[in-house]
Every structure is written in structure tokens, then in C-alpha cells.
Amino acid sequence: MIDLALPKGSLEEQTMKLFKEADLEVRRGKREYNPKIEDPRIGKVKILRPQEIPKYVEAGYFDLGISGMDWIVESGADVVEVAKLPYSKMTEKTVKIIAAVPEDSDIRKIEDLKGKRRSRITTEYPNITKNFFDGKGISTDIFFSYGASEAKVPEIMDVVVDLVETGTTLGKNKLKIIGTLMESYTTLLANKASWEDKEKKTEIEEIKTLLLGVIDARGRVLITMNIPKDKLSIIVEFLPAMKKPTVSELYGTDYYAVQTVVSKDEINTLIPKLKQYGAEDILELAISKIIR
């Protein structure tokens, strides 16, 4: 049985949604930080700030956790990266830690800061920021920010280093990006001793399989249809599939039942084409998990 730390705040909603879709629903009250997951593999569950989770997992308070790669790097936690979970607060893409300055600044790239006076930088990532700018030989004074970092430029600070997902907040504050320090993504991370424990590793791998199965199924649908024998080879030729479409003969007829997995991006153009080429009884079905 494993103990699990889940993130509160910006990643919370998407994480709870993912676990529910994986049939690992997190059950709790509105202000409850000790929820339960009704699964024999999972014991204690805590909802914590993602900044704290990597160090707690490293220390062995939890066997498994979810946090951002940014907080793993910032904290210096020595943990196992079990899986990349491609989702964030608003999207299913990676996010970036960037450096930004006022739109009207003559600074166009990070290297333009070199040789100037010490740049005052506000950030929630002082360690990542220091290591990055020291590596480029740029003199800085780094000030830890407790939030609303963009609002401190230019009146108090010269540069903001922050996590961006869409860039909307930067635009509203009339800031422009001059470089990227790192890409970050939501990460399933494990304690090293737990990962080396045979029983716990098996449980961790099983949970990983369920979560990735949900993520892999997102954006895909199952499509089934009946196809006359004389149209089969033409349709199968252009039909998308994970490997190959499944084809089976319908008993006592000259028809074949065909099913395949298709990207949602393709489905609205594919269905009319299938009908045009002779497919009948076309069904589009949701997929909850894809286990490869």
C-alpha cells in the first residue's frame, strides 16, 4: 500500500479530474485535506502545495506524489521521475519558466543583460534563476516573490522570471518574453526507497498505467462501421488506426464490421468520407482509457 501526495492550487482541478477518469476518485469535503481513494493499493492521501511535495516524497513521508518539474528542480529533491503527465492548469501542454521585461525595454534577449548593472529579478524560483543567470555570467540581485510577480516590473524590479502557460498575464502587464529558462510539466514522482521496494514499485506502476491510459485516450474516439465486401479494401486503405483497423466478417452477409481508434481532430472530416465511400451504420464511441 502506498501513501500519496496530490497538489492543491493551480494543478488541483485537473489532477482530481484525471484521478476520477482513472477510476481512482478522490473523495473529500470542501475544506478537507485528508481525502480518501477507495483502492486497495492506496493508503494515506494528502492535498499539499506542489512546492512542498517533492521534498516530502524525497524524505519518505509519501511514496508517490504529483508536482511540477519546476518544483522538483527548484527544491533539488532527489526523487524518481515515474512519468510525465502532460497537463497543466488550463492546457494539456508543457509550460515554461521565462524571463520577461517591459514591452518598451531595449532588452530583446537574456544575453542583452550581460555587462549592464546588476539586474533586479523577482521570481518564485530563486534557485533556478540563480543557477541559470550565473551560468551565463550575468550579475543579478534575486528577490523572492510571494506572487503577482509581474506587477513588480518595472517600478521595483527590472526582470520577472515566472511560469507561463498562455502568456495572457504578461500581455496585460505590458511585458515581453526575452528568453526561456526551462520547460516544465506535471510529473508523477516517487520516493527512491519505495521505487526499489518490489511490492510498492508494482503498485506505483499500476497507478501510472491507469493515469497514462486516461491521458492517452483523451482526444481519441472509437469508430465502428459496417462495410460492403466490395468497398472494404478502399476504405481500410485510408482509415486511421493505432496499428491496423480491426476487421471481422458479419455472419451470413457480404459485409464486414470494422472498428478503429481515431483522433477527434480527424473525426468530422472522416465520417462524411466514410459515408461517401460506402460505409454504413457508423458509430462514434468515447474511450475512457487506452492501455498500450
Instruction: For residue 47, give the C-alpha cell.
Output: 492535498
The predicted structure's pLDDT at residue 211: 97
Q: Is the pLDDT of residue 68 over 90?
A: yes
Q: What pLDDT band is residue 88 in, cutting at 50, 70 and 90?
A: low
Q: Are strands 2-7 and 246-249 parallel, antiparallel or unpaired?
A: unpaired
Q: Which amino acid is at 283?
A: L
pLDDT higher for 118 or 63? 63
State how far the Cα of 280 lies from the Cα of 166, in Å rounded to an integer: 42
Question: HEC states along the chain?
Answer: CEEEEEECHHHHHHHHHHHHHCCCCEECCCCCCCCEECCCCEEEEEEECCCCHHHHHHHCCCCEEEEEHHHHHHHCCCCEEEEEECCCCCCCCCEEEEEEEECCCCCCCHHHHCCCCCEEEEECCHHHHHHHHHHCCCCEEEEECCCCHHHHCCCCCCEEEEEECCCHHHHHCCEEEEEEEEEECEEEEECHHHHHCHHHHHHHHHHHHHHHHHHHHCCEEEEEEEEEHHHHHHHHHHCCCCCCCEEEECCCCCEEEEEEEEEHHHHHHHHHHHHHCCCEEEEEEECCCCCC
The predicted structure's pLDDT at residue 173: 84
Q: pLDDT per residue over 116-157, tens digit each?
A: 788 999 999 999 999 999 999 999 999 999 888 888 898 899
Radius of gyration of the chain (CA): 25
Which of the listed CATH numbers 3.40.50.1110, 3.40.228.10, 3.30.70.2740, 3.40.190.10 matches domain 95-183?
3.40.190.10
Residue ranges per structural domain of the chain? 2-92+186-217, 95-183, 220-286
26, 183, 221 from 122: Cα distances, Å: 36, 19, 45
Question: HEC states along 98-166?
Answer: EEEEECCCCCCCHHHHCCCCCEEEEECCHHHHHHHHHHCCCCEEEEECCCCHHHHCCCCCCEEEEEECC
Q: pLDDT per residue over 221-237, tens digit each?
A: 999 999 999 999 999 99
The predicted structure's pLDDT at residue 279: 98
State how far the Cα of 54 lies from the Cα of 118, in Å rounded to an integer: 32
State how far the Cα of 9 lies from the Cα of 80, in Å rounded to an integer: 23
Q: What pLDDT band is residue 90 in, cutting at 50, 70 and 90?
A: low
Q: What pLDDT band is residue 28 in, cutting at 50, 70 and 90?
A: confident
Q: Is the pLDDT of residue 99 over 80?
A: yes
Q: How many CB atoms lie within 10 A of CB 291?
A: 10
What topology does CATH give the domain 220-286?
Alpha-Beta Plaits (3.30.70)
State how far the Cα of 155 lies from the Cα of 222, in Å rounded to an integer: 55
Enter the pTM of the model.
Answer: 0.89
Q: What pLDDT band is residue 172 in, cutting at 50, 70 and 90?
A: confident
The distance from CA 66 to its chain's CA centroid, rounded to whole angstroms, is 10
Q: pLDDT per residue over 179-196, tens digit each?
A: 999 999 999 999 999 999
What topology does CATH give the domain 2-92+186-217?
D-Maltodextrin-Binding Protein; domain 2 (3.40.190)
Is it true that 2-92+186-217 and 95-183 share their CATH fold?
A: yes
